[in-house]
Amino acid sequence: MRSSSLRLALYQPDIPQNAGTSIRLSACLGVGIDVIEPCGFVFSDANFRRAGMDYLLSADVTRHESWQSFLSQRRGRIVLLTTKATLPYTQFAFAPTDTLLLGRESAGVPDDVHAAADASIRIPMRPEMRSLNVAVAGAMVLGEALRQVAGFPA
Protein backbone atom coordinates (compact mmCIF):
# COMPACT_ATOMS: atom_id res chain seq x y z
CA MET A 1 0.00 0.00 0.00
CA ARG A 2 1.51 3.33 -1.07
CA SER A 3 1.55 6.27 1.31
CA SER A 4 3.46 8.77 -0.84
CA SER A 5 3.31 9.87 -4.46
CA LEU A 6 7.10 10.32 -4.53
CA ARG A 7 8.80 7.70 -6.67
CA LEU A 8 12.24 6.16 -6.93
CA ALA A 9 13.59 5.18 -10.37
CA LEU A 10 16.50 2.89 -11.21
CA TYR A 11 18.15 3.56 -14.58
CA GLN A 12 19.38 0.27 -16.07
CA PRO A 13 20.56 -1.18 -12.76
CA ASP A 14 23.69 -3.38 -12.91
CA ILE A 15 23.72 -5.06 -9.53
CA PRO A 16 20.77 -7.22 -8.46
CA GLN A 17 21.46 -6.78 -4.74
CA ASN A 18 21.23 -2.99 -5.04
CA ALA A 19 18.03 -3.18 -7.08
CA GLY A 20 16.52 -5.60 -4.56
CA THR A 21 17.52 -3.35 -1.67
CA SER A 22 15.98 -0.31 -3.38
CA ILE A 23 12.74 -2.19 -4.05
CA ARG A 24 12.64 -3.29 -0.41
CA LEU A 25 13.20 0.34 0.63
CA SER A 26 10.33 1.51 -1.57
CA ALA A 27 8.01 -1.19 -0.20
CA CYS A 28 8.80 -0.31 3.41
CA LEU A 29 8.32 3.42 2.87
CA GLY A 30 5.27 3.18 0.62
CA VAL A 31 6.99 4.70 -2.40
CA GLY A 32 6.51 3.47 -5.95
CA ILE A 33 9.61 2.40 -7.87
CA ASP A 34 10.35 2.42 -11.59
CA VAL A 35 12.90 0.05 -13.10
CA ILE A 36 14.18 1.32 -16.45
CA GLU A 37 15.51 -1.56 -18.50
CA PRO A 38 17.61 -3.15 -19.74
CA CYS A 39 18.92 -4.40 -16.41
CA GLY A 40 22.40 -5.86 -16.10
CA PHE A 41 20.86 -9.02 -14.61
CA VAL A 42 17.81 -11.21 -15.01
CA PHE A 43 15.00 -9.58 -13.05
CA SER A 44 14.27 -12.86 -11.27
CA ASP A 45 17.94 -13.49 -10.35
CA ALA A 46 18.46 -15.25 -7.00
CA ASN A 47 20.65 -12.40 -5.68
CA PHE A 48 17.91 -9.93 -6.56
CA ARG A 49 15.28 -12.00 -4.74
CA ARG A 50 17.56 -12.47 -1.71
CA ALA A 51 18.17 -8.70 -1.35
CA GLY A 52 14.46 -7.93 -1.80
CA MET A 53 13.39 -10.83 0.41
CA ASP A 54 9.62 -11.14 0.70
CA TYR A 55 9.22 -7.37 0.26
CA LEU A 56 9.17 -7.70 -3.54
CA LEU A 57 5.51 -8.73 -3.43
CA SER A 58 4.61 -5.63 -1.39
CA ALA A 59 6.39 -3.16 -3.65
CA ASP A 60 4.72 -0.97 -6.27
CA VAL A 61 7.16 -1.77 -9.11
CA THR A 62 6.71 -0.48 -12.65
CA ARG A 63 9.08 -1.88 -15.25
CA HIS A 64 9.84 0.19 -18.35
CA GLU A 65 11.39 -1.42 -21.42
CA SER A 66 13.45 1.71 -22.16
CA TRP A 67 14.26 5.28 -21.14
CA GLN A 68 11.79 6.53 -23.76
CA SER A 69 9.04 4.34 -22.32
CA PHE A 70 9.74 5.76 -18.87
CA LEU A 71 9.65 9.34 -20.19
CA SER A 72 6.32 8.77 -21.91
CA GLN A 73 4.77 7.77 -18.57
CA ARG A 74 6.52 10.27 -16.31
CA ARG A 75 4.66 12.10 -13.59
CA GLY A 76 6.10 15.27 -12.08
CA ARG A 77 9.76 16.23 -12.06
CA ILE A 78 12.71 13.92 -12.59
CA VAL A 79 15.33 14.64 -9.94
CA LEU A 80 18.66 13.02 -10.82
CA LEU A 81 21.08 12.01 -8.07
CA THR A 82 24.55 12.46 -9.54
CA THR A 83 28.10 13.16 -8.43
CA LYS A 84 28.26 15.70 -11.31
CA ALA A 85 25.68 18.03 -9.73
CA THR A 86 26.61 21.09 -7.71
CA LEU A 87 23.42 21.46 -5.66
CA PRO A 88 23.41 19.46 -2.39
CA TYR A 89 20.20 17.48 -1.85
CA THR A 90 19.85 19.15 1.55
CA GLN A 91 19.29 22.50 -0.22
CA PHE A 92 16.74 21.18 -2.71
CA ALA A 93 12.98 21.72 -2.27
CA PHE A 94 11.30 18.41 -3.08
CA ALA A 95 7.73 18.17 -4.36
CA PRO A 96 5.30 15.34 -3.60
CA THR A 97 5.25 14.22 -7.25
CA ASP A 98 9.03 14.06 -7.77
CA THR A 99 10.74 10.94 -9.08
CA LEU A 100 14.25 10.44 -7.70
CA LEU A 101 16.38 8.92 -10.46
CA LEU A 102 19.39 6.74 -9.62
CA GLY A 103 21.94 5.87 -12.30
CA ARG A 104 23.77 2.65 -13.09
CA GLU A 105 26.30 1.57 -10.51
CA SER A 106 28.97 1.20 -13.20
CA ALA A 107 28.36 4.32 -15.29
CA GLY A 108 25.69 6.64 -13.89
CA VAL A 109 23.46 7.91 -16.71
CA PRO A 110 24.29 9.09 -20.24
CA ASP A 111 24.24 12.75 -21.27
CA ASP A 112 20.74 12.59 -22.77
CA VAL A 113 19.34 11.40 -19.44
CA HIS A 114 21.19 14.20 -17.63
CA ALA A 115 19.67 16.66 -20.09
CA ALA A 116 16.15 15.29 -19.56
CA ALA A 117 16.28 15.66 -15.77
CA ASP A 118 14.41 18.62 -14.32
CA ALA A 119 16.96 18.93 -11.51
CA SER A 120 20.29 17.36 -10.55
CA ILE A 121 21.40 17.01 -6.95
CA ARG A 122 24.32 15.47 -5.12
CA ILE A 123 25.17 14.13 -1.70
CA PRO A 124 27.98 16.17 -0.13
CA MET A 125 30.95 13.99 0.77
CA ARG A 126 34.71 14.10 1.15
CA PRO A 127 36.36 15.23 -2.11
CA GLU A 128 38.74 12.27 -2.28
CA MET A 129 35.82 9.80 -2.28
CA ARG A 130 34.23 8.81 -5.61
CA SER A 131 30.66 7.87 -4.71
CA LEU A 132 28.31 6.07 -2.35
CA ASN A 133 26.55 2.80 -3.01
CA VAL A 134 23.52 3.61 -5.17
CA ALA A 135 21.02 2.01 -2.76
CA VAL A 136 22.51 3.94 0.18
CA ALA A 137 22.38 7.20 -1.80
CA GLY A 138 18.77 6.55 -2.77
CA ALA A 139 17.81 5.87 0.85
CA MET A 140 19.45 9.06 2.12
CA VAL A 141 17.81 11.33 -0.43
CA LEU A 142 14.44 9.58 -0.32
CA GLY A 143 14.38 10.03 3.45
CA GLU A 144 14.92 13.78 3.08
CA ALA A 145 12.34 14.05 0.30
CA LEU A 146 9.74 12.19 2.38
CA ARG A 147 10.52 14.40 5.39
CA GLN A 148 10.04 17.57 3.33
CA VAL A 149 6.72 16.52 1.82
CA ALA A 150 5.43 14.83 4.99
CA GLY A 151 5.25 11.58 3.04
CA PHE A 152 6.40 8.98 5.55
CA PRO A 153 3.84 6.24 6.26
CA ALA A 154 1.68 6.87 9.35
Q: What are the structural domain ranges in the chain? A: 7-148
What number is the average pLDDT over the span 126-138?
Answer: 94
Distance CA 114, CA 82 (A): 9
2-13, pLDDT tens digit by residue? 556 999 999 999
86-125, pLDDT tens digit by residue? 999 999 999 999 999 999 998 999 999 999 999 999 999 9
Q: Does the domain spanning 7-148 belong to CATH 3.40.1280.10?
A: yes
40-78, pLDDT tens digit by residue? 877 775 666 665 567 778 899 999 999 999 999 998 999
- Determine phi and psi for 74, rounding to 5 degrees: -65, 150
pLDDT at position 45 is 57
Order the strands of the 78-81 sheet from edge to edge.
61-64, 32-36, 7-11, 99-102, 78-81, 119-121
- This prediction has a pTM of 0.92
pLDDT at position 42 is 74
